[in-house]
């Protein structure tokens, strides 16, 4: 199981070095010299045309042109057409219909929760999860510094404020020790509430994100949440099917969210899901997601709701995709194993780790590129792969570096910075062939 453990990773010269001392800072105080960070440049891909080779722009999130190896594309080969046709034939195309309930049941059963509420996307699911969990305007929520920006944005939609927590170096997830450090040294109890000493705001929730398909080490985080009377909202959007210590990701905190965006392990085009054992929270999420209708006949609304309900067509896609989920995960794991086998001995390339206590779904297979001894940094390698029509992408700008969160408080941040500097995600679609994988690894090994 642990072919990708941190020991193996470290022995190949893992780039991030842990910070010498614990640091929490308010705002962007510890900006690292620009020289250490190469701005991700948009690559170009060469396409053979009648007139010869032509270069066209090749951006990380753009649709890969034909003839290239894309980063991650959906796999639609099961009952998708059949189920969608059923929606069209029956006229059940909108936000009510049998597939929505069926999709909710399938996801709840898979994850093991009592309830599931389908939403238009993962960001909406996070927004509602924060609301039902009791996060109020001006509260604070702990969010990893290294993640896609959506969870931080959802915190702001709820009127609350994110406090960014650095990643740990072994598996790149939210660092429980830094959570502890923040709660113990930067907060105090006042009238039965935990408050941030620096801002005076109430701290209400921890929002760990299981990034890239690997579970975060969540037990210590849940323990801290219980000790400090906080709720735990899992952002499991990238990790449906991942296992943490024999338990399904999405059933480890108080409430969790999934995304079914086009690049996720299963897709509904766009879509999301809230899962929880808390019946009252599930009911409230359903109520808020359908415009808070108190009397649907007379159109009475006692509260302001949202139009966040998934449509039947999307849910039909979701049901078909759920039928293939286990196969998709097996394929993702086999792609990871092949990358590991080919790249594990390349000096300066660290394969994606997997903890002994985890079963990663390797949603987005990512390596670390250490310029010395590899000879190229991650952005140069991205360009080199683009020159061979291979689409890759760096990890997200750490959120404490994001201009959108310029004044947010951050605990640490150095590991997230180092990972951002050296990480590169490789093609890992379920449909990737052995030849594709060999092409990618041979370019990385400078065989081409």
Cross-strand bridge partners of residue 26: 409
Secondary structure element (H or E) that encloses residue 196, with its range:
strand 193-196
Instruction: Give the residues across from 119 on adjacent strands.
Output: 272
Q: Which stretch binds ligand PLP (CB under 6 A): 28-36, 147-155, 181-189, 369-377?
A: 147-155
Q: Output 157 or 357, the one with its CB closest to ligand PLP.
A: 157
Q: Is 103 a binder of ligand PLP (CB under 6 A)?
A: no
Site for ligand PLP in 272-301 (CB under 6 A): 272
Q: Which is nearer to ligand PLP, 150 or 288 (CB)?
A: 150
Select from 94-102, 103-111, 118-126, 373-381 the region that touches ligand PLP (CB under 6 A): 118-126
What is the per-residue binding string for ligand PLP in 148-187, x denoting contact by CB under 6 A? x-xx------------------------------------
Binders of ligand PLP among residues 188 to 227 (CB under 6 A) are 209
CA 118-142-196 angle, 5° bins: 135
Write each residue from 59 to 78 as x if it is in contact with ligand PLP (CB under 6 A), else as -, in one continuous string: --------------------
Interacting residues with ligand PLP between 233 and 272 (CB under 6 A) = 235, 237-238, 259, 261, 272
45 vs 265, beta carbon nearer ligand PLP: 265
Other beta carbons less than 10 A from residue 67's beta carbon: 10
Give the shortest CB-132-to-ligand PLP separation in angstroms: 17
Q: Quote the CA–CA distance of 398 and 417 in Å, as a whole number.
A: 6
CA distances from 290 to 94, 117, 119, 128 (A): 12, 11, 10, 11
User: How far, in whole angstroms, is CA 339 from its chain's centroid?
Assistant: 21
> Which of 209/343 has CB closer to ligand PLP?
209
Give the closest residue to 355 by CA, choosing from 6, 9, 14, 11. Answer: 6
Q: What angle do CA 22, 26, 30 make, to 5 degrees?
A: 65
Task: Tell me the window of 8-16, 18-26, 43-51, 119-127 that interacts with ligand PLP (CB under 6 A).
Answer: 119-127
Looking at beta carbons only, is 181 or 237 nearer to ligand PLP? Answer: 237
Distance CA 135, CA 202 (A): 10
Report strand pairing: 272-276 vs 349-350.
unpaired
Tell me, what DSSP letter sits at residue 71?
S
Nearest CB to ligand PLP, comparing residues 12 and 401: 401
The residues that touch ligand PLP, with contacts defined as CB under 6 A, are: 121-123, 147-148, 150-151, 209, 235, 237-238, 259, 261, 272
């Amino acid at each position: 199981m642990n072919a990708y453990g941190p020991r193996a990773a470290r022995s190949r010269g893992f780039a991030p070095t842990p910070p010498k001392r614990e640091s929490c800072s308010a705002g962007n105080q510890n900006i690292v010299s620009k020289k250490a960070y190469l701005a991700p440049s948009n690559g170009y891909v060469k396409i053979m045309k009648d007139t010869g080779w032509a270069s066209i722009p090749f951006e990380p999130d753009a649709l890969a042109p034909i003839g290239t190896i894309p980063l991650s594309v959906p796999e639609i080969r099961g009952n998708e057409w059949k189920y969608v046709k059923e929606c069209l034939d029956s006229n059940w195309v909108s936000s009510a219909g049998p597939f929505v309930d069926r999709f909710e049941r399938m996801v709840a059963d898979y994850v093991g929760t009592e309830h599931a509420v389908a939403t238009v996307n993962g960001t909406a699911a996070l927004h509602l999860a924060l609301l039902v969990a009791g996060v109020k305007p001006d509260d604070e929520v702990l969010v990893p510094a290294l993640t896609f920006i959506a969870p931080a944005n959802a915190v702001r939609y709820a009127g609350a404020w994110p406090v960014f927590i650095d990643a740990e170096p072994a598996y790149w997830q939210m660092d429980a020790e830094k959570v502890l450090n923040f709660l113990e040294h930067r907060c105090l109890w006042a009238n039965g509430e935990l408050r941030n000493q620096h801002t005076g705001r109430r701290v209400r929730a921890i929002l760990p994100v299981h990034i890239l398909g690997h579970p975060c080490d969540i037990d210590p985080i849940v323990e801290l949440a219980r000790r400090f009377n906080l709720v735990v909202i899992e952002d499991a959007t990238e990790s449906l099917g991942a296992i943490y210590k024999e338990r399904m990701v999405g059933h480890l905190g108080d409430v969790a969210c999934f995304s079914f965006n086009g690049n996720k392990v299963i897709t509904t085009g766009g879509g999301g899901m809230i899962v929880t054992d808390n019946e009252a929270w599930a009911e409230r999420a359903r109520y808020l997601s359908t415009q808070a209708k108190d009397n649907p006949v007379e159109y009475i609304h006692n509260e302001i709701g949202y139009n966040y309900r998934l449509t039947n067509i999307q849910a039909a896609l979701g049901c078909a995709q759920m039928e293939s989920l286990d196969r998709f995960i097996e394929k993702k794991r086999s792609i990871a194993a092949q990358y590991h086998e080919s790249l594990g001995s390349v000096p300066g390339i660290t394969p994606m780790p997997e903890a002994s206590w985890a079963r990663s779904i390797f949603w987005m297979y990512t390596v670390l590129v250490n310029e010395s001894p590899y000879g190229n940094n991650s952005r140069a390698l991205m360009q080199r792969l683009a020159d061979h029509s291979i689409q890759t992408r760096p990890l997200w700008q750490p959120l404490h570096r994001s201009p959108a969160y310029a004044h947010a408080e951050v605990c640490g941040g150095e590991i997230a910075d180092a990972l951002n500097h050296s990480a590169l995600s490789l093609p890992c679609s379920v449909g990737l062939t052995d030849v594709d994988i060999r092409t990618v690894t041979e370019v990385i090994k400078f065989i081409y």
